[in-house]
Amino acid sequence: MKPEIFKQELAKIGIELSDTQMRQFQRYYELLVEWNEKINLTAITDLEEVYLKHFYDSITLANALDLKDDNYSICDVGAGAGFPSIPLKIVFPNLKVSIVDSLNKRIKFLTLLCDELQLENVSLYHDRAEDFGQNKAHRESYDLVTARAVARLNVLSELCIPLVKKDGKFLALKAAKSEEEVLESKKAIATLGGKLVEEVEMTLPFIEDKRYIVVIEKKKETPKKYPRKPGTPNKKPLK
184 CB contacts (<8 Å, ≥6 apart)? 152, 153, 154, 239
Amino acid identity, residue 45?
T
Give the angle subtended at the CA of 191 by the CAs of 130 and 162, to the nearest 5°: 35
* Residues 69, 94 contacting (CB under 8 angstroms): yes
Nearest to 56 by CA among 101, 98, 4, 18: 4
Residue 172 in marked binding region: no
- Long-range contacts made by residues 133-140, C-beta under 8 angstroms, separation at least 24? 133/159, 133/160, 133/162, 133/163, 133/226, 133/227, 134/162, 134/227, 138/75, 138/98, 138/163, 139/163, 139/222, 140/164, 140/165, 140/166, 140/218, 140/221, 140/222
Residue 92 in marked binding region: no
Grouping H, G, I as helix, E, B as strand and the rest as coil, residue 218 is strand
Residue 190 in marked binding region: no
Residue 199 in marked binding region: no
Q: Where are the beta strands (DSSP E) in 118-163?
A: 122-126, 142-147
Residue 148 in marked binding region: yes
Output the known binding site.
78, 83, 129-130, 148
Output the known binding site for S-adenosyl-L-methionine.
78, 83, 129-130, 148
